[in-house]
Amino acid sequence: MKTLTLFTTLLAVSAAKKCIVKPSSSNDSGIESGEESSLNNLPSDPSNPSNPSDPSNSSDPSNPSNTDPTNPTNPGEQTNHDILVEKARAEGKLPADFKWGAATAAYQVEGAWNEDGRGESVWDHFTHLYPHNVEGEEGNEDSISGNVACDSYHKFDEDIEMMKIMKATHYRFSISWSRLFPDGQAKKEEGKWNVNEKGVEYYNSVINKLIENNVTPLVTLYHWDLPYALHEKYGGWLDYHSQYDFANYAEFCFETFGDRVKNWITINEPWVNCVSGYRLGPGKAPYRCTGEAPRKLANETEGLDLQGGCSYEIGPSQYSPESEVLEANRPPQRLEDVWCSHNILLAHAQAVKVYREKFQKEQNGLIGITVDGEAQIPWIEPGMSEEQKKINEEYANLAAEFRIGWYSDPPVTGDYPQSVKERMGKDLPEFTEEQKAMLKGSSSDFLGWNTYTAHWAAPIEGQTPPTPEEANFENSKRDMWDDNCRGRGDGWTCIPPTLGSQAGSSWNTKYPPTIRVGLNWFSKRYEGLINNGIIITENGCAQPNAKVSRANDEVTAEYFKSIDQPEYADTYEEEIIENEDDKNTIIRDLYRVDWYQQYLENLRLAFVEDKIDVRGYMAWSLIDNFEWENGYETRFGMSYIDFKNDPELKRQPKESLKFLGQWYDENIMQE
């Protein structure tokens, strides 16, 4: 077999070096650093005025968000962690307390969708209603939904066996909100929660089994599976009430599982959830979309395939307490993704506030949000002037502020980036002062980042930025290359030639320096504001498969050669392509092994050389699973499951899983 070119470590090192935007000594991010968070107030639902905020709490030195609860020391004193870091850097390795593991999400692996009292989530509802929206076998409902998925609800022991092979110290999984609260509304009355006890039993058993096996749980409270009842009731994240329902559900989880769970992620990827679910549908539930489809829905529905999505199944919404009430079952509106984002960020902050107020001191855990987003790489081409390079670097920062900072700034600094505010004008909702105070520092324990691919950034020639009068959603990025997907199909976001080679999912391209560039970007931007570093909460690769078009391969190869970075001209031989009938290409996942090798090398360099405070790495994913609208044959797993033919859904380790075990031995300190 002609094998994929596995790059040498040396190549990866020098390539990464070339590509890194080194932090400059001055903090030009426009963000103040070193301020303490002020999260000591109770949830303040405007409809519940009995929880007044108390700004005098903001400088409470005992505020646990300002310390590492796992390492309590006085400021300036060397912590256990510091000692481990020093030792590790001296050996060119990651420290012994590095969080090492894999990630999954409830809807993608659990199955048992209607068992033991679980309520419907938006994903159940919409996969059942719009089977055409998901890739799978016609007529086989289970192949286009998470009805059965990997059946981890019954087979969790087998998942643990896979963790052992990669030597996981941590496992990131998510809780299904509607398994605990079928209608999404958690209430405690006379000391008793209205919870589905069977759901509690399940998560207790997952957590206990992990701990028995020396694996530390890292728990996501929300990974896109909103209880459908809340969508029907008030449009889900479109309505400001969602933050209070989320905080109540979170409170139950802290109270019930927090004695054993010390690492909490509130929300997974607000951008993907809101942009894909509320603007770009019909890709992701709840399949709201703007553009052509809703225009047709509003004006002429004749001949339209309603199975395509852009649903009308929605309750009346009120974006914020001040906004008008929008009627139920209206066609999708402009800015739904923007309001979803706004409310979901507030939901995150409300949950953190509950944790800080009621649990953190006693439970000694950490809490943060996980954002997604591609590192933005300044576009270069042969013979480009220094001046143009500088302009592109600035645009890369601007693009990153839009793509990532929009979501990561509020939970760290308390507000949207200035650039986003200016360019969005009145289309961007404003946080009140009280909300800003609540948001600020809400991800100061750690920041989770899901990193996969990268984007080029540069200005569009001849385009000017919007003036204050022109500032709105549509104009906000008109002079930027960001989010421009020419040549790659609608809805996807890159400039050809795309960065790196095409993996097995449309947006999934391999460009390993992205992880190092991104870590540097966060580190510089949030200097002094994050106490326990950045955790890579997802990184992974779908092995190339026949379903994904590789039209850009040649262009990509030529381009990278022209800029003297031939190591990224990483085209691959046909033999590497995953084939459902040939288990050899599925189990011997060499493309994925190469992915992990190179991304991890860049992570190691970010830690050892750039001195970035990165504390964990969760590979996506432990097992093949339900890859949302791409169904089951887009495989991100490091363990193979034959969903079609094997009723037992047996897990089979792939080479990549073993590779990660080996990488752990060689690159992470054992003490």
Q: State which H helix or E strand residue 98 sits in.
A: none
Q: Are 305 and 287 in contact (CB under 8 A)?
A: no
The nearer residue to ligand PNW, 150 or 195, going by C-beta atoms, is 150
Q: Residue 409 corresponds to which tokens in the numbers above?
A: 């700034």
The nearer residue to ligand PNW, 206 or 272, going by C-beta atoms, is 272
Q: Which residue is nearest to ligand PNW (CB)?
A: 507
Residues forming a β-bridge with 616: 99, 535
Candidates 124, 372, 482, 594: give the one binding ligand PNW (CB under 6 A): 372
What is the smallest separation between the CB atom of 237 and ligand PNW, expressed in angstroms? 16
Phi, psi at 222, each rounded to 5°: -140, 115
The nearer residue to ligand PNW, 353 or 592, going by C-beta atoms, is 592
| Euclidean distance between the first and the last CA atom of the chain, given in angstroms as a whole number | 40
Distances (CA, A) of 635 to 98, 162, 560, 627, 640: 27, 16, 27, 7, 8
The one-letter code for the residue type at 241 is H
Q: Are 568 and 511 in contact (CB under 8 A)?
A: yes
Q: Are 639 and 65 in contact (CB under 8 A)?
A: no
CA distance 204 to 354: 21
Q: Residue 301 corresponds to which tokens in the numbers above?
A: 């529905």
Largest CA distance in the chain: 72
Question: What character string, x for contact with ligand PNW (CB under 6 A) and - otherwise, covers 453-492?
Answer: ----------------------------------------
Candidates 636, 640, 663, 664: give the one binding ligand PNW (CB under 6 A): 636
Name the nearest CA neighbour of 604 among 670, 549, 663, 563.
663
Name the nearest CA neighbour of 31 among 400, 392, 370.
400
The nearer residue to ligand PNW, 174 or 556, going by C-beta atoms, is 174
Name the nearest CA neighbour of 530 among 542, 540, 521.
521
What is the smallest separation between the CB atom of 538 and ligand PNW, expressed in angstroms? 5
What is the smallest separation between the CB atom of 532 and ligand PNW, expressed in angstroms? 21
Candidates 156, 507, 596, 607: give the one binding ligand PNW (CB under 6 A): 507
Choices 265-273, 410-418, 519-527, 604-612; region in contact with ligand PNW by CB under 6 A:
265-273
The nearer residue to ligand PNW, 249 or 452, going by C-beta atoms, is 452
Q: Residue 532 corresponds to which tokens in the numbers above?
A: 């326990």
The nearer residue to ligand PNW, 239 or 627, going by C-beta atoms, is 627
Q: Residue 208 corresponds to which tokens in the numbers above?
A: 């206990």
What is the smallest separation between the CB atom of 368 and ligand PNW, expressed in angstroms? 15
What is the smallest separation between the CB atom of 268 and ligand PNW, expressed in angstroms? 5
What is the smallest separation between the CB atom of 171 and ligand PNW, expressed in angstroms? 15
What is the smallest separation between the CB atom of 275 and ligand PNW, expressed in angstroms? 9
Contact flag: residue 532 with ligand PNW (CB under 6 A): no
Phi, psi at 183, each rounded to 5°: -100, 10
What is the smallest separation between the CB atom of 630 and ligand PNW, expressed in angstroms? 8
Choices 268-276, 336-344, 578-586, 593-601; region in contact with ligand PNW by CB under 6 A:
268-276
Candidates 538, 578, 629, 633: give the one binding ligand PNW (CB under 6 A): 538
Phi, psi at 320, each rounded to 5°: -145, 165
Residues forming a β-bridge with 464: none
What is the smallest separation between the CB atom of 269 and ligand PNW, expressed in angstroms? 5
User: Mind telling me the catalytic residues?
Assistant: 269, 538
What is the smallest separation between the CB atom of 651 and ligand PNW, expressed in angstroms? 17
Q: Are 107 and 176 in contact (CB under 8 A)?
A: yes
Q: Are 390 and 435 in contact (CB under 8 A)?
A: no
Contact flag: residue 624 with ligand PNW (CB under 6 A): no
What is the smallest separation between the CB atom of 111 and ligand PNW, expressed in angstroms? 16
Beta carbons within 8 Å of 188's beta carbon, 6+ residues apart: 194, 248, 251, 252
Sequential DSSP letters for 197-234: HHHHHHHHHHHHHHHHTT-EEEEEEESS--BHHHHHHH
The nearer residue to ligand PNW, 97 or 627, going by C-beta atoms, is 627
Candidates 264, 620, 632, 663: give the one binding ligand PNW (CB under 6 A): 620
Pairing state between β 366-372 and 447-450? parallel
Angle at which helices 590-608 and 80-90 pack, to 10 degrees? 110
The nearer residue to ligand PNW, 363 or 630, going by C-beta atoms, is 630
Residues 297-316 that bind ligand PNW (CB under 6 A): none
Choices 266-274, 324-332, 433-441, 482-490; region in contact with ligand PNW by CB under 6 A:
266-274
Residues forming a β-bridge with 456: 377
Residues 404-463 that bind ligand PNW (CB under 6 A): 450, 452
DSSP state of 131: G
Contact flag: residue 501 with ligand PNW (CB under 6 A): no
Question: What character string, x for contact with ligand PNW (CB under 6 A) and - otherwise, covers 208-227?
Answer: --------------------
The nearer residue to ligand PNW, 199 or 504, going by C-beta atoms, is 504
Candidates 122, 163, 272, 398: give the one binding ligand PNW (CB under 6 A): 272
Residues 55-114 that bind ligand PNW (CB under 6 A): 105, 108
Candidates 627, 633, 643, 663: give the one binding ligand PNW (CB under 6 A): 627
Candidates 44, 127, 147, 268: give the one binding ligand PNW (CB under 6 A): 268
Residues 414-445 as b/e (b if ≥16 CB within 10 A, e otherwise) read: bbbbebbeebbbeebbebeeebbbbbbbbbbb
CA distance 35 to 37: 7
Question: What character string, x for contact with ligand PNW (CB under 6 A) and - otherwise, covers 549-588?
Answer: ----------------------------------------
Choices 84-92, 155-163, 248-256, 264-272; region in contact with ligand PNW by CB under 6 A:
264-272
Candidates 269, 393, 578, 629: give the one binding ligand PNW (CB under 6 A): 269
CA distance 78 to 76: 6
- Determine the size of the site formed for ligand PNW (CB under 6 A): 13
Contact flag: residue 336 with ligand PNW (CB under 6 A): no
CA distance 576 to 511: 18
Q: Which residues sit at the interface with ligand PNW, rule CB under 6 A?
A: 105, 108, 268-269, 272, 372, 450, 452, 507, 538, 620, 627, 636
